[in-house]
Structure formats: C-alpha cells, structure tokens
Structure 1
Amino acid sequence: MDQIREAILSGDRTEQTYAGIEVPTTYRAATVHKDEALMFEGLASRDKDPRKSLHVEQVPTPELAPGEALVAVMASAINYNTVWTSIFEPVSTFGFLERYGRTSEFAKRHDRDYHVVGSDLAGVVLRVGPGVTKWKPGTEVVAHCLSVELEDAAGHDDTMMDPQQRIWGFETNFGGLAELAIVKANQLMPKPTHLSWEEAASPGLVNSTAYRQLISRNGAHMKLGDRVLIWGASGGLGSYATQMALAGGATPICVVSSPEKAAICRAMGAELIIDRSAEGYRFWNEDGTAQNPKEWQRLGKKIRELTGGHDVDIVFEHPGRETFGASVYVARKGGTIVTCASTSGYMHEYDNRYLWMNLKRIVSSHFANYREAWEANELIDRGLIHPTLSRTYRLEDVGTAALDVHRNLHQGKVGVLTLSPEEGLGVSNPEKRARFESEINRFRNA
C-alpha cells in the first residue's frame, strides 16, 4: 500500500507504473459487522453512536469482475447513507448484500459478514477488469454511486430505472471509505484538476443528487426565475441546491437552523434566509402525533415577506416527516415538491386538499443516472459549482465524522482522508484553482 501511495504522491500517472504495482492482498477499510446489527436495539435514533459500530480494519482485497475498476482511494466523504448503515436504520444493510449476493457468481463477493461503507471517492485507477476500455491504470478519477447491471430493458432510458439499480457502498460492498474500492467502470468520472483529493471526493453523491432533483427533467426541471425553498440550505444536499439555484438564475429561499448557517448561505450569494430556530416553527405537537397548520401558514407568510408576496415554485425536500406537511402547503398553486430523502422520518403526512385542489405535484427523486452525474461533475470542473467541504478527518476517526453528520453538527460536507497523508494534496492545476480559491474554501472558513 505504501508503494501505491508513493506512486500517487510522486505525480507519475503512466499506465505502466500502476500496472506494475502489485495489488495488496488486504487493505484498510471502514466497516460495520453483521453480528452487531442489533447493538442499538431499543435506543432512539439520536442516541445511536456510529463510533461504536464503525470499525477500521484490514479486509481481503476482492477479485475484480468484468466491467469493474479497482481504485486506490486517496479520500472519501460522509453521506447520510453511511449514518444509516452505521446505526442500522431503517434496516440493516446486510439484507441488501445478501439479496445482491444471490444474483450472480460475481455478486456473491458482496455478501460478507462485514460491509465496507462509503459512497464517494477520489483516487487513481489501479486495475480494470475485462471489457473496460475507457479507463486506464494511472487515471485520476472520482466516482458516482450508482451501480447498475443494465441487463433489463427498463434501465436503458434512465439507468435509475434499472431493476438492479443499487447505491454503491450502501446497497453494495467495497465502498469508498477505504484504501481501495471496487466500482463499475461506468461509475467513474474525471477528477477536477483544481481540487485536492478531499475536495474532489466530497461532491459526488450530494452534487449528483441535487442536480437530478432540482435541474434535471427527471426532477423539478428548475428554470430561470423560479423561486426555490431549500431545506437545510447549508448542509450536504442543500448547499449544492443553493449553488445551482443561484447559477441557474433562480432565487433560493434558504432554510437553516442557526445564524452561522445563515452566514454560509449569504457567502454563497443567497439573500433570502429563514432561520427556523429563530422563528421557532413547531410543525408537530410535542408527542409527534399531529401537525399544526397554523405553523405552515406562518412559514408561508414569512416566505411571502421575503419574496415580495410570492409563494415558491419549487420546494427542495429531504428532511421528510418533520417538514413535508409544511412543504406541500407553501408551494404555489401548480408548484412542485421534489423529495429525495427522509432524514427525519419516512412516514410523511400532509393535507391533501392543498395538493389536489391547487394542482401541485410531488416528484420523487433518487440519486442520478450516469449522464446526470457526469453533467453535475462537469459543473464542478468548470467552476460553476464548488465543493462545500468544511472539515476533514482521518480514516481512523471515521466514527466521529459520521457522528457529526448524524447530529447535524457539520456544515456542507465532511471529508475523510484514506490513502492521502494530509489535506491539500492532489491539485494538478494551481492556476485554475487560483480563480476559485475563495469559493472552494467558503465552508472551511465558516
């Protein structure tokens, strides 16, 4: 592993160099264990501690299958799916691995008594499997997290509709929070040359998810002039949605939970901010059994105060149960509520009168297909959208990194160094970086 790291740090990217390095038989990885899936039974979600369930250990290097690539991972990042995996909610991910393992001989590799987690990476291709022609050893890459088989016709219009669609590192094994990772070749994308390893690793999942959810025809299909309510606008997803709204000529209305997070949104260029903690919204009663429509109305009034009397065209939803009733209410007549997650709970409740009688739409959105992920990555590469990395941990501290995200103690994205020995490495185009230095560091300087 030291030889791999040294080759990458040297700047040598020749195919011969990497093809000549022996692949280690084991590597360090962040894992959860199958025999610990019940360790948090009886605890409330907020009391489940990823530091207790995430292990950093040596695991065997799996065989490479046709159409796959083995990547030496310099850095990765924490997403909420890693939090879910680490607290075994809503279900243990070992069920995903067992079902996947039954589909083919190569899929059997994924059904282990440990799960290597992580759905982001930046690194260098080390090996490619049979049939891979586009990517070569020595190529700097990032990866998106859509794993598909594409043996069914249903996936060939939109690969997210593939019946065998899975999220790598969550519904498959051998994820990115490790020194090595296995991905399908059609998950790979060029690493932006002006970013460090940890910066390049951080956008993948959330940037692609926000792109499909907000911009794509498969999501809200935002247009110039739209008013967009963005929940958690300084967080992992929301920070990219905010940037996209601004870059696309829309007006974001940013909902945050503190003055510090409001300042982050202003630094991105947003002007219309709602601090929900300061406003004291209580959409549910204390025991969580009923919602208070008067609080929806109060939110709607606040939005109209900020927008000069207008309701929002799009609501960018991901908190789920806590906010969904309010989201349906505040969207304008004919507006769109687009949802990609349910971090506060999956069982949503809303007053259907405000949906059907006002001709609103609820649109579901889940990650992104390869084209959408590629286009989202190009926005990063062109400097139209920037990483929102705020803090970086070592692989040894992955449990603390996941706890930050679990308890919403973070801004933007939390990165994890894997093979990279320190932050700031991997920039190969410093002239390009100089044009965007302040934007790249917005969240670090918060």
Structure 2
Amino acid sequence: MDLLSKAALNGAPPEELESLPLPDEFLAGHLRADDAESLADAVDKDVRRTIRVGPVPMPELAPDEVVVAVMASSINYNTVWSAMFEPISTFTTLRRFARQGGYTTRHDLPYQVIGSDAAGVVVRAGAGVRHWRPGDHVVVSPAYVDDQDPGSHDDGVMGEHLRAWGYETNFGGLAHYTVVRASQLVAKPPHLTWEEAATITLCAGTAYRMLVSDHGARMKQGDVVLIWGATGGLGAYALQMVRNGGGIAVGVVSSAAKAEVLRQQGCDVVIDRREIGMGDTADPSADAAELGRRLGRRIRAEIGEDPSIAFDYVGRATFGTSVHVVRRGGTVVTCGSSTGYQHTYDNRYLWMHLKRVIGSHIANLQEQSACLRLFEQGRLVPVVSRVFPLESVADAARLVQENQHIGKVAVRCLAPCDGLGITDPAARARIGEDRLTAWRQYATAPTATGAGR
C-alpha cells in the first residue's frame, strides 16, 4: 500500500492528502485486449479466465475529474458481460469513445479497469472541480454524463454521450484507485461501512429510477409490483422500495432457498418460478402467454388482482411473460436483460390492453442523491451477503455469473478488513446493526442457476 492510500485509509486531513504524490501505478482488476477472442468458442465463458489482477498505470486527471482511493467496490452483471466480451468486446466500445478526442483518448488502452461501483476517499480534484475536495468520503454513480450534451440538461442520463463508467469507460472501481467525473460523486452515507456503501449506486439507484422516479413506473400506494429475481441486487432493493412506498411485492426467484429469503424479508407473495414451468431447463421460447396465465392465476389467488408493474431486468426469459401478466394499462419497466437482449412478446397484449413498456438505464445525479437520502434515513438498508478481497475479484464475478449469490457481492479494495468507514456510529445504532447486516446470513445459502435470477 502506497503512502497516499495509507493516509486516505487513516483519515488524513486534506492538506496531507494533497501533499502526497499519486502513485505511478496501482493494483486493479482488469481485462486485456489480447484476451478478447479467448472465449469466442467456449461453451462455458468462465470469467475467471479473463479477469486479471495486477498493476496498471495511473491515468492523467482531466479538469472536471477527481481521483478516488477506492476502499470497496462490488460486482454487477455488467462486469460479467465485460469479462465475456459480450455482446461486443468492451475494447470496441473504448475505441469508439476515444474518437471524441481530448481526454477521452486516454480510455483506448490495451487493458480496461472494470467495475461500476465504488466507495472511497477523494485524494485529488481537478482544476474545474468545485464541490469536492481531498478527504471527502464518497460513493460513485456509474452514470458518466457529458455536461456539454444538450440532452443532459433535461435529464442527466438522456445525453447522447452517456456511458456506463467501468463498463463503457476505462478506470473503473474494482481497483485501488479510480478516476471519475465530479458529476458522478454523491456523499457516502456516514453510518455505512465501505463495503456496504459500495453496493448501492448502480443497483439501488437503478431500482429507484425504475420504480419511484418520474422517469420510471411512478409506483403508487397499493400498486402490485411483480419483481423478477427478487433476491438479486436490483431485486432486493426493489423489494424494499415497494414495501416502503405502500406497494404489494410479488417476488419471483429460482429456488426454495431464495424463496425462504424473500419470506424472511417480508415479501407479500413469494413464487418459485419452477412452480409455473420456468425451471432451469425450461425452453426460453416457451409460450409467454401460457406462462403469464399460470403466473396471473397464482397472483390473483393471493392478492385478487393482476400486477400494476413488472420490474424486469432478467430479459429474454421473462419479458414476454411480463407483458402478458401486467393488468390493463399496466407498466413493464426494464433494464439489463441478464438472460439475453432479444425479447419476444405478443403485441396484442400490449396494444389492445393499453400497457406501457419503459426502458430505464442507471439513474441521474438527482435520483442518486434522493436514493442515498433514503439510506441515510434508514428506510433502505444494504443487501451485502458476501465480501471478497480484490485479489479474488474473478471468483466473486464467477459467483454472480452463475447466479450463486443472494443480494450484493462486495469487493474490498484498499480497506484491509470489513467494518471500516463508519463515521456516524450513533446513526448506525439508531437504524440497527441487525437490519444493516441482515443479508450477511445468506452468504452460504444454497441457490439455483438460470433464468429469473
């Protein structure tokens, strides 16, 4: 560990952090361009074959950027896509980004530092940064927004040049240091540990935009919300938001063990997808209308009505069923598509029943700020189940790739152990240690693989 990272970890004042030099290189989980074809013909595209951990050079800092000493990060499914080089190689994306010129050319390198979550300490601020300084504790939003793009001034993520940091850019969060735009920063909730805070922005922010924001489904009290993959990172945060907002949560999962997790977390209706014919060996092109009828009967038997909203990040395996099962005038809000991007559905159920499909991607900075406020109030809590050291990041990503996880999988970067980073112990005590760490009990829960998460 270099002097600057030691100082950041020990809470050094801004003046000391500014006086210490940035290291020439740092440890990072990364991909190599030379490996981009290595999984092309593989039946099992095992991400452990392509994710490396080793030193990379410190990039130059742009005027609107900061350097963050990363205490912890987490695994998201976009890291799995990156490491499989699907649907296209991330190095193709980086080359396209670099064509914008200027500081973007730094991103076109023979390696990519991956990861779209981070919590840490600002250690450098560019000349154009106004609201952040060394020593600030922050979390990083994955929305890499171009503030000179007209669309960004209507909604930060509507700009033509929006990118997902650590997926469509270089210098991601699974590393000892990351370089990010100042417009990606939100103050870290002071009662959370580094690893807890590092699992929030991508999944909780995305779920907030999908369900709560004016740009999403605009969930109301009493809305019945179907949540596919309700024990995954996105689903677990969606479940909390539905319950907080007075909705009725219907969670669909892939195993009896995950179903039990949902019951313990207070989900109103719990469905093991195998019960409706969506087991691991099910044909993904199966009749979505028939699956929708089975699912609808089950939901109506429990609640008496069809879902108002379907929260669908699973994609190909579930989307047609989502379109079928939501009520007349209902909404399917979608992102991600971890089982495949090519969705098929019967358009009659969309058009003749006046349903809506809303595409959603990340969250803008205001939405991230509003979401983090809910954590500070204790209305939302982290869903960390397991924590890996950076040296084992490939194993952590493989766990997510195989859907053998529950909640969020965190990765310690500079933090030497769990439990560090709490600066408001009184707030933590008020919210309750048991609530904040409730998902840790699921670290070794047996799970199932396949569609539906």
For 1:225 and 1:242, locate their aligned partners in 2 and report how far apart those are by CA, in whole Å.
14
C-alpha contact 1:264 1:442 (8 A) present in aligned 2: no
Structure 1 residue 109: deviation in Å?
0.5
C-alpha contact 2:2 2:23 (8 A) present in aligned 1: no
SS at match of 2:106: helix
C-alpha contact 1:73 1:121 (8 A) present in aligned 2: yes
- 2:278 paired residue among 281, 289, 294: 281
One-letter amino acid of the structure 1 residue matched with residue 418 of structure 2? E
* 2:433 is equivalent to residue 440 of structure 1: no
Superposed counterparts of 1:256-405, under 5 Å: 256-281=253-278, 286=283, 288-291=284-287, 293-307=289-303, 309-405=304-400
One-letter amino acid of the structure 2 residue matched with residue 11 of structure 1? G
SS at match of 1:100: helix
Structure 1 residue 10: deviation in Å?
2.6
Query: Which moves more between the two structures, 253-262 or 389-398?
Result: 253-262
One-letter amino acid of the structure 2 residue matched with residue 305 of structure 1? A
* 2:416 is equivalent to residue 421 of structure 1: yes
C-alpha contact 1:283 1:291 (8 A) present in aligned 2: no
Deviations 1:280-326 (A, max 9, x none): 4369964x44525322211110111111x200000001111101111
C-alpha contact 1:258 1:278 (8 A) present in aligned 2: no
Moved over 4 A (4+): 282-285
Query: Residues 310 and 431 of structure 1: is their aligned pair in 2 closer, same or farther, counting only changes over 3 Å?
Result: same
One-letter amino acid of the structure 2 residue matched with residue 317 of structure 1? D
Structure 1 residue 340: deviation in Å?
0.9
For 1:282 and 1:267, locate their aligned partners in 2 and report how far apart those are by CA, in whole Å.
23
Structure 1: unaligned runs, 5 residues or longer: none
One-letter amino acid of the structure 2 residue matched with residue 225 of structure 1? G
Aligned to 1:39: 38
* 2:78 is equivalent to residue 74 of structure 1: no
Structure 1 residue 153: deviation in Å?
1.5
C-alpha contact 1:69 1:127 (8 A) present in aligned 2: yes
Structure 2: unaligned runs, 5 residues or longer: 443-453
* 2:220 is equivalent to residue 217 of structure 1: no
For 2:307 and 2:197, locate their aligned partners in 1 and report how far apart those are by CA, in whole Å.
32
C-alpha contact 1:282 1:292 (8 A) present in aligned 2: no
C-alpha contact 1:116 1:178 (8 A) present in aligned 2: yes
SS at match of 1:223: coil
Structure 1 residue 11: deviation in Å?
3.0
Aligned to 2:245: 248
SS at match of 2:330: strand
C-alpha contact 2:288 2:321 (8 A) present in aligned 1: no
SS at match of 1:333: coil
SS at match of 2:210: helix
For 1:409 and 1:26, locate their aligned partners in 2 and report how far apart those are by CA, in whole Å.
33
SS at match of 1:312: coil
Question: TM-score with structure 1 length normalisation?
Answer: 0.96
One-letter amino acid of the structure 1 residue matched with residue 90 of structure 2? T
For 2:409 and 2:329, locate their aligned partners in 1 and report how far apart those are by CA, in whole Å.
36
Q: CA RMSD in A?
A: 1.5
For 1:330 and 1:292, locate their aligned partners in 2 and report how far apart those are by CA, in whole Å.
9
Percent identical: 47
C-alpha contact 1:75 1:123 (8 A) present in aligned 2: yes
SS at match of 1:98: helix
Query: Residues 300 and 282 of structure 1: is their aligned pair in 2 closer, same or farther, counting only changes over 3 Å?
Result: farther
Question: TM-score with structure 2 length normalisation?
Answer: 0.95
One-letter amino acid of the structure 1 residue matched with residue 287 of structure 2? Q
